[in-house]
């Protein structure tokens, strides 16, 4: 029962948290790399505290496993996740800073759910016809939810599309390493990697200062603790032994939650397009959970 709950509820909870993160990202007044670096440092500190609490204050094996082989796998997985997430976060923030609207950014980013099964085919991982149908239904639903005007492609949108590719790769890396690693430690190492890479980039291309932290403290705290520290860790936990394509569909419902929260909190009025999009997203989520005897494709 817990296993089914973990594989369904955790990615939906992560999506709920991510649904409001696009708004927080639009408040960035600093350089893209500096913003990501500070956000990641906050995530690392938060996760280290969680790891210490889980180990009852013991610093032994803080970011290590019980043996050298498992520790090697943990760090390889964490660093690879961090590299993929660094590139994804950079191109997503770069696209938003360059002018891609939050709704459109949400739609393009969520296209990783289409890319995950495509990459899976290259890795000889098959999906059922039902799963492919869920991907298509969810994609159409996301279009109705996020795209309000004619869909035109700008350079900033290309940046966000690259982000989607990296998120798809990130999901497959987690799929490979999460079954054999401590999820909290894996998540902490990935954000440690993101922080180091982002700070190096910021020192080369930007001018990171402590004023960046103070000027953006509220969105950074939300993104660092909730979006990074909690939501991404929930993603890793939920992916243990789960179908990565199904998980990606559940995670992509962040756009659905973004629209719903905007209606509830900000009083935004939903039109016919949004209602159709919400319905299609819900249908896609339900489809992923129905038993299937369809042939794998």
Q: Is residue 256 part of a domain?
A: yes
Lowest mean pLDDT among 7-11, 171-175, 184-188: 7-11
Q: Residue 249: what pLDDT?
A: 82
The DSSP-derived string for 232-244 is IHHHHHHHTTS-H
Q: Is residue 60 part of a domain?
A: no
Per cent of the chain over pLDDT 70 is: 85
The DSSP-derived string for 115-137 is HHHHHHHHTT---BHHHHHHHHH
Which whole number is the average pLDDT over 133-148? 77
Q: What range does the domain containing 170 cover?
A: 7-55+67-289
Instruction: Give the confidence band of 55 by pLDDT, cuts at 50, 70, 90.
Output: confident
Q: CA geometry: angle at 176 spanning 170 and 181, to 5°?
A: 100
Q: Is residue 136 part of a domain?
A: yes
* Burial (Cβ within 10 Å: 0-12, 13-18, ≥19) of residue 195: buried
C-alpha closest to that of 18 among 226, 244, 279: 226
Tokens of 34: 């500096």
Which whole number is the average pLDDT over 23-47? 83
Q: Residue 160: what pLDDT?
A: 86
User: How far, in whole angstroms, is CA 279 from its chain's centroid?
Assistant: 22
Q: Is residue 150 pLDDT above 70, yes or no?
A: no
Q: What are phi and psi of 132, to 5 degrees?
A: -60, -40
Q: How many CB atoms lie within 10 A of CB 175?
A: 23
Instruction: Give the confidence band of 52 by pLDDT, cuts at 50, 70, 90.
Output: very high
Which whole number is the average pLDDT over 59-85? 90
Contact between residue 196 and residue 190 where contact means Cβ atoms under 8 Å apart: no
Q: Is residue 119 part of a domain?
A: yes
Q: What is the pTM of this model?
A: 0.83
Q: Is residue 28 pLDDT above 80, yes or no?
A: no
User: Can you say whether the dihedral through the CA atoms of 93, 45, 10, 262 is positive or negative?
Assistant: negative
C-alpha closest to that of 42 among 205, 181, 226, 199: 226
Which whole number is the average pLDDT over 143-152? 68
Contact between residue 89 and residue 32 where contact means Cβ atoms under 8 Å apart: no
Q: Residue 262: what pLDDT?
A: 62
The residue behind tokens 């009083």 is 267
* Burial (Cβ within 10 Å: 0-12, 13-18, ≥19) of residue 191: buried
Q: Is residue 250 part of a domain?
A: yes
Lowest mean pLDDT among 125-129, 130-134, 264-268: 264-268
When divided into structural domains, the chain yields a total of 1
Q: Residue 288: what pLDDT?
A: 66
Q: What are phi and psi of 295, to 5 degrees?
A: -70, 140
Contact between residue 8 and residue 14 where contact means Cβ atoms under 8 Å apart: no
Lowest mean pLDDT among 185-189, 251-255, 261-265: 261-265
Cα separation, 16 vs 251, in Å, equals: 9
User: How far, in whole angstroms, is CA 32 from its chain's centroid?
Assistant: 17
Q: Is residue 295 part of a domain?
A: no
Integer CA distances (angstroms), 241 to 127, 179, 291, 297, in order: 15, 7, 17, 20
196 vs 211 pLDDT, higher one: 196
Q: Is residue 184 part of a domain?
A: yes
Q: Is residue 290 pLDDT above 80, yes or no?
A: no
Instruction: Give the confidence band of 90 by pLDDT, cuts at 50, 70, 90.
Output: confident
Cα separation, 297 vs 295, in Å, equals: 6
> Whole-number mean pLDDT of the chain?
83
Q: Is residue 39 part of a domain?
A: yes
pLDDT tens digits, 221-248: 999 999 999 999 999 999 988 888 888 8
Q: Residue 49: what pLDDT?
A: 95
Q: Residue 267: what pLDDT?
A: 65
User: What are the beta bridge partners of residue 296?
Assistant: 128
C-alpha closest to that of 252 among 88, 94, 107, 128: 107
């Amino acid at each position: 029962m817990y296993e089914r709950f973990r594989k369904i509820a955790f990615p939906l909870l992560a999506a709920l948290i991510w649904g409001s993160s696009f708004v927080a990202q639009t408040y960035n007044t600093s350089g893209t790399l500096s913003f990501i670096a500070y956000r990641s440092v906050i995530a690392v500190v938060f996760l280290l505290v969680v790891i210490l609490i889980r180990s009852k204050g013991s610093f032994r094996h803080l970011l290590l496993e019980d043996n050298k082989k498992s520790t090697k796998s943990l760090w390889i997985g964490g660093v690879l996740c961090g590299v993929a997430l660094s590139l994804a976060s950079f191109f997503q923030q770069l696209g938003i800073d360059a002018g891609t609207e939050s709704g459109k950014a949400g739609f393009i980013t969520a296209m990783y759910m289409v890319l995950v099964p495509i990459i899976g085919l290259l890795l000889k991982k098959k999906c059922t016809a039902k799963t492919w149908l869920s991907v298509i239904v969810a994609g159409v639903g996301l279009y109705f939810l996020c795209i309000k005007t004619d869909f035109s492609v700008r350079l900033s949108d290309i940046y966000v599309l690259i982000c989607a590719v990296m998120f798809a790769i990130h999901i497959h890396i987690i799929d490979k390493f999460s079954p054999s690693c401590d999820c909290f430690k894996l998540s902490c190492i990935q954000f440690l990697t993101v922080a180091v890479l982002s700070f190096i980039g910021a020192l080369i291309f930007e001018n990171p200062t402590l004023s960046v932290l103070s000027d953006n403290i509220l969105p950074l705290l939300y993104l660092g603790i909730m979006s990074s520290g909690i939501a991404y860790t929930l993603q890793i936990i939920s992916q243990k032994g789960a179908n990565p394509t199904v998980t990606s569909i559940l995670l992509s419902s962040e756009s659905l939650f973004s629209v719903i929260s905007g209606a509830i909190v900000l009083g935004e009025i939903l039109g016919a397009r949004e209602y159709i999009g919400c319905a299609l997203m819900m249908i896609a989520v339900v489809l992923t959970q129905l038993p299937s005897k369809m042939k794998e494709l």
